[in-house]
């Protein structure tokens, strides 16, 4: 029983460590990347406009990284496979193509002539 408790505590500790590491990456590292990319763009061009555009782009990327699970879930809800409404309980539109075999030398190899 003691081994099970130790295993559960270890799994919990690894999960908490992963959450803290993710928060470190999305917080600190992304903040540094925003500042560095803005400074590099401004330094190379000596333009406030270029620095501002780099800042907006970096902040947009940061927002996408922080909200990646929300974007992933919303894409699954709004985009349907094939662009058609979802088929429920096996009832839905179907396309059937009937091909009559053509007599002749191609009869043994499928017989379809288009």
Residues 38-75 pLDDT 10s:
999 999 999 999 999 999 998 898 888 888 777 776 66
- What single-letter DSSP state applies at residue 82? G
Sequence-distant (6+) residues with CB within 8 A of 99 are 111, 112
Query: For the chain, how big is the Rg over CA atoms in Å?
Result: 28
What pLDDT, on a 0 to 100 scale, did the predictor assign at position 56?
93
pTM here is 0.48
């Amino acid at each position: 029983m003691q081994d099970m408790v130790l295993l559960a505590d270890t799994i919990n500790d690894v999960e908490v460590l992963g959450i803290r590491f993710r928060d470190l990456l999305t917080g600190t590292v992304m903040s540094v990347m925003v500042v560095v990319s803005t400074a590099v763009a401004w330094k190379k061009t000596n333009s406030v406009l270029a620095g501002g555009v780099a800042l907006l782009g970096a902040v947009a990327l940061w927002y996408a990284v922080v909200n990646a699970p929300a974007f992933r879930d919303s894409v699954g809800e709004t985009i349907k496979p094939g662009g058609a409404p979802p088929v429920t309980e096996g009832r839905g539109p179907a396309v059937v193509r009937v091909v009559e075999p053509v007599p002749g030398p191609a009869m043994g190899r499928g017989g379809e002539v288009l």
